[in-house]
Structure 1
Amino acid sequence: MSIYLNNYWSLYSEFINVLKNLKYREIPIALMTNFYQQIDTDLKIHMEQEEFAAKLTYASIKKSIEIQPFFEKMLVPLKKPLKTMLDGKILINLDYTRIPVEILHDHFSGEHTMVLSRSKTTDYYGIPNEYIGNFKRDTSETSKQLMKTAYSILAKYKDHPAFSNSFFIKTFIQRIPIIVDALETILNLFDEKDIATVLIGSTEDVVSRSLAIVASMKGIPNVCLQHGILMGEEAFIPVFSSHIAVYGEYEKRWYVARGLEEERIVAIGHPRYDKIFSCSSRVSRKTLLNEYDLDPNKITLLIITGPNLEESKFKKMISELAGNQNFQFLIKPHPWELGKRRIKLYTELESEFNSVHVIRDRKINTHDLIFHTDAVVSALSTVALESCLFNKPVFVYYFIQSNRLYDYYNRLGHYIQSDPIELVKIITIYFNSPNGKTDYIDVKEKFLLDSYRTENSGEELSNLIFQLTKVRPK
C-alpha cells in the first residue's frame, strides 16, 4: 500500500472504533458513511506523510489483509446465517445496477422480481416498482440527538489530525440524518415486503449499503455487482454484501489480498457488457464519420480522457500522433470534465490540428464510438477494458499524478505507458508492422483471460441468484 492508503485505512478504523457505540437500531452510524468523501484536500495532504500514523491512537488496520476482517468484526453481531428457500421476490435497486432493460427482460420476470427506485410509477418496463418514498418515516428527532452525541464525542479530540478538521466533522454530522432516514426506510421495506434476495450495484451510497446490511441482518442473501474497474480501492472495499459479483480473476486476487473470504466472490462479469458480444451498433460508421467530418480512408483513433491528467504529456502524445497523416482523432472527454466544462485542453488541440475532433455530446453512446473506430487510446478507464471486449486494439496512457499506483492495466505490458513518445512509437508499430499486431493480440488475450471471460453475464447472474435462494428469476 502507498503511504496515503496505509494512513487512510488506519484513520478509517480509528473513526469506527471511536464512534462504535453511536448506533441507530443497533447499526453503527460510522459504518454507514462513505468515509473517503469526508477527507478534504488539506487532510489528504497530511495523510500523504508517513508521520501521520503516529498521531492515531485507536487504529486497528495496519496491513491490507486486515481491511475486511476489521469491518467483519463490526458486522458479525448484526448478521444472521443466510437462508435459502425464502418466500419472496428478488429486489433490484435501480440506482447503480446499470442492467440494460433488454438484458433485465431476458433473465428476470415480473413474477419473481421487483425493483426499488425513486420513481412513483407502478412498474419498470413490466417489472413491479416499489417507490422508496412509501417506506420513509419521520426520524428527525432521533437524528438530532445522534448528531448532538456524535459532536460531543468528536469534540474531545481537539488535537486529532482528522477529528479536529472542520470539513471532516461537518460532513459526517450533516450525513447523520440521511443515514438514519435511509436505515429506517430500508428496515420498513423489509418489514412490509417479502424479499428473497437483494441485488445492488454499489455500496458507496447509503441506500445500497443499508440494503446490504439490513438484508444480512435478516439472513437474506444479497449480491453487489462491480460498478467499474478496480482503481480507487476506497470505492470497492469494505464489502457489506454477502456476495460480490466481479469481472474476473484479477478482482478475486485483489479482494482476497484485502481479507475477504474467497467463497463470497463470484467472477461472472456484469450484464451491462453482454451486448458488446453481439457486435452491433445503433448508428452506422458512415453516419458517425459524417457527423464529425472524418475521412473514411484514414485510421480513426478514439481518445478516452479522464480527470487530473498531466496536460503536458497529453499534449505531447496528441501532437506526435497528429504528425502522422494517416491518423485522425476523436477525443471523448470524461463526463466529469464535460459537466465541469474542463475541456479547454482538448478544444485547444482541436483548434491546432485539423485531424482532431472533440466530442461535446454527453449523451453519445461510447460503445458506438468504440465499434466504429480503428483503435482506442485510453486513460486509466473502464472504457479500455470495454474496448478489449470489442476486440479493438487498445493503448493505455498513464498520465496522472496520484498518491498511489494503479496496476490494473499493467498486465497489458508495454501497451500501457507513462512516456508519451514511447506510446506513440508503439501505436505506430502496431499499424505499420504485422508482427506488431500479432504481439498485441497475444498480450490482449492473456489480459482478458485474467480480467473478463463471461459473454452472458445476465445468465450467470440469474444462475447465481438461483443457487443462493432457489428462486428462479425468470
Structure 2
Amino acid sequence: MMNTFERNFWSLYVDFLEAFSEVKYKGISIPYLCHFRSLFTNHHELKQNLSSESFSQQLYQTVQDKKLFQQRFTEFKKMHTNNKVKRKANGKVALYNAANLLRFPIEITKKHFKPEHSFVIRDIRGKTTSPRPITAEGLPAYFLIDYDESIDHHVELIQKQVAGIIEKHKKHPLFGHPTFKEAFNAQVERIAHRIIESTNMIKKLPISCIVFSSTHYYQSRTLAIVAARHNIPTICMQHGIVGSENGYMPKIADVDAVYGHFEVDWFKSIGVADDGVKVIGHPRFDLINKEATITKETLTKKLGLDPKKKNILLIVRGNAYIKHWRKLLDEWDGHDQYNVIIKDFPAQTPHPLTENYDFAVSSKGYHLYTLLPHVDVVVAYLSTVGLEAMIAGKPVFLLSIPAPTYSGYYDRLGQMVQKEPVGLANLVNRYFVSEKFRAKESSKRKKFLAYAYPNVKSSGQRLIELIAEMTKGQGKA
C-alpha cells in the first residue's frame, strides 16, 4: 500500500511522462531521461501539496501500484535495447561516477580495475586538465564533453514543442507553474547533448561494460539508455541504503548491484525480474574491518577524550533533527560516563552541539572507518552509517524520523530503533549495564546483517565476477 505522498508523487510523475511522451530526440522520449524531482525544486506549494489527499483531484493519472510505474520504464528500456549490435573487440570497463556517488576507494579501484582493462568517464574538463589525464587510481579518463556537437537548432525545435504542450496544460499544478518550463527546458537541452556525447563516445571507444554510481540523474540515465542501444551491459552500484524509495525508482541499468536481500526483495516487490538484481555489497565496505590506522590511545589524545569513559559515536547531518539530538544529550548530561564523539556529514568543522556539552567532542575530520574500531556504541539517524557500523561489529541505536517515502530498511532491528530521543538515550544506558540486553542486541544485529549484508566474499571480487559474467564472449573485461 502507498501512502498519500507516494501515490501523489508517482501519479504526478506519470502525468509528466504521458503529457510529454512525444518530446523526443534521436528517437528517445526525453521525459523518461529527466531527473524528475528537480523539475519542481522551486515549486514549494506543490511539494507541500504532495501530502494532501485532495491534490490527487488535480492530476490526470492515479498510480495505485508501484509495479505499474516501474513497468513503464522496463518497457522503455526494452524498446531501446539492441542485442544484435556487435560490440568492439577487447572492450574495457568504464566507471562513471554520477554525482560523486560511486565511492570506490583508491586502493580498491587499483586492486580490481587495471588501466589496460578499465577507464573512467567524466562529464567536463577542468581548466587545467591535461589532454590525456590519468586519475589518482591510475586510470585514463575520457570526457563526454569532448564528443559533443553543435545542435542548437534541434534543441530550439524541441523547446518550441515543449512550449506548445505546456500551453495546453496551463491549469496543471506542475506544468502550469512558471518554474517548470525553465527547469524542463534546461534538462531538455542537456539531455539532447548527452545523447550526442554518449553516442559518439560509445562509437569511438571500446567499451565492454559501464559501471554507474546511480541512474537517478539525467546525465547517467541517458548514458545507460544509449549504451543499451549499442548492446553494452550496464551495472548500477547501490550508493546508500534504500532509505527513500524514490531515490532508487525507476530501475534503469541491466543489473543493480545491491547490498543484500532487503534490496532484492524490494526490487522484486516493484516488479523487477530476478536477473536484474545481484547481491554484491559495496567495495568501500571492504575496508571497514581493515587493521586500525590509529591506536585508541592516539585517538583519545587527539580528540581529548577521557580514557575511563565509554565512547559513543553520534552521527549527525548538519542541523537536521538537532532538537532531538539536544534532548538525547540532555539525558546524558551529568551522568559523567560517556565521551560523545560527534561526526557531522558532510561538514568537517566542529558541530554546534560540541559547544553546549562538555562531554561532546568533534571527530575532527577523522574518517568513519578510523573511528569505528575505537567506539563502544554508535548512535545515528536512519542512514547508511548504521549498516557500516554493524558491519564493523558495533552495536547501533537509531533515531527514527522517517521521510514519507521511507522503505522500512531498519525495521528488523525492532526496539534498537526509537522515535523519541529519551527512549534512545535509555536504550544506550541499558546496553552498558545489562549483559542480557547486550546479548539481545548482538543477536538482533547478526540476524539483521545476514539479511541486509551477507558478507561471503569481498564486494570488489564479487563485482569483478559480475562484470566477467556480463561481458562473457566480448573480449577481456
TM over 0.5: yes
Secondary structure in structure 2 of the residue aligned to 1:158: coil
Measured after TM superposition, the shift of residue 217 of structure 1 is 1.2
Aligned residues of 2:103 and 2:284 also touching (Cα < 8 A)? yes
Provide closer, same or farther for how the CA distance between residues 26 and 307 of structure 1 changes in structure 2, counting only shifts above 3 A. Answer: farther
Deviation per CA, 1:222-246: give whole Å up to 9, x if none. Answer: 1000011001212111111111100
Q: Deviations over 1:268-298 (max 9, x none)?
A: 10111111132x2333323322222111221
Find the residue that maps to 1:142 and give its secondary structure. helix
Which residue number corresponds to residue 36 of structure 2? Answer: 35
Specify the alignment match of 2:107 in structure 1. 102
Report the secondary structure of 2:393's partner residue: coil
Residue in 1 that maps onto 2:6: 5
| 1:46 aligned residue (37, 44, 49) | 49
Q: Distance in 2 between matches of 1:86 and 1:359?
A: 49
**Distance in 1 between the 2:262 and 2:327 partners?**
32
Deviations 1:176-234 (A, max 9, x none): 21111212111110111121111111012322112211111112211000011001212
The alpha-carbon distance between structure 1 residues 439 and 300, as it changes in their structure 2 partners (threshold 3 A), is same
Unmatched segments (≥5 aa) in structure 1: none
One-letter code aligned to 1:365: H
Go from structure 1 to structure 2 and tell me whether the alpha carbon gap of 1:148 and 1:173 turns closer, same or farther (over 3 Å shift): same
Q: Find the residue that maps to 2:214 and give its secondary structure.
A: coil
User: How far did residue 307 of structure 1 move?
Assistant: 5.7
Asked if 1:356 is matched to 2:360, the reply is yes
TM-score (norm: length of structure 2): 0.91
| Partner of residue 55, structure 1 | 58
Q: 2: distance between equivalents of 1:473 and 1:394?
A: 42
CA 332–199 in structure 1, closer or farther in 2 if over 3 Å, else same: same
State which of 153, 159, 167 in structure 2 corresponds to 1:141: 153
Q: Deviations over 1:113-145 (max 9, x none)?
A: 122124544323332322333212222222222
State which of 111, 114, 118 in structure 2 corresponds to 1:113.
118
CA gap 1:359/1:155 in 2 versus in 1, 3 angstroms: farther
Residue 450 of structure 1 corresponds to 451
The one-letter amino acid paired with 1:184 is I
Percent of aligned pairs sharing the same letter: 28
Superposed CA offset, 1:387-427 (max 9, x none):
00111111101145x43444111111100000222211211
Which one-letter code corresponds to 2:207 in the other structure? Answer: I
Partner of 2:229: 217
**How big is the shift at 1:360?**
6.0
Paired residue type of 2:121: L
Match of 1:403 in 2: 404
The offset of 1:60, in angstroms, is 6.3
**One of 370, 373, 376 as aligned partner of 1:374:** 376
Given the two structures, how large is their TM-score scaled by the length of structure 1? 0.92
Aligned AA (1:350): T
In the alignment of these two chains, the number of paired residues is: 462
Instruction: Give the match for residue 294 of structure 2.
Output: 283
* Matched letter for residue 155 of structure 2: S
| Aligned residue type for 2:430 | I
* More deviation, 190-199/443-452: 190-199
Contact 1:250 1:451 (8 Å CA) reproduced: yes
Question: 1:223 corresponds to which letter in structure 2?
Answer: I
1:196 aligns with 2:197: no
Give structure 2 stretches of 5+ with no counterpart: none
Q: State whether residues 245 and 407 of structure 2, in contact with CA within 8 Å, keep that contact through their aligned partners in structure 1.
A: no
- Distance in 2, Cα, partners of 1:242 & 1:352: 50
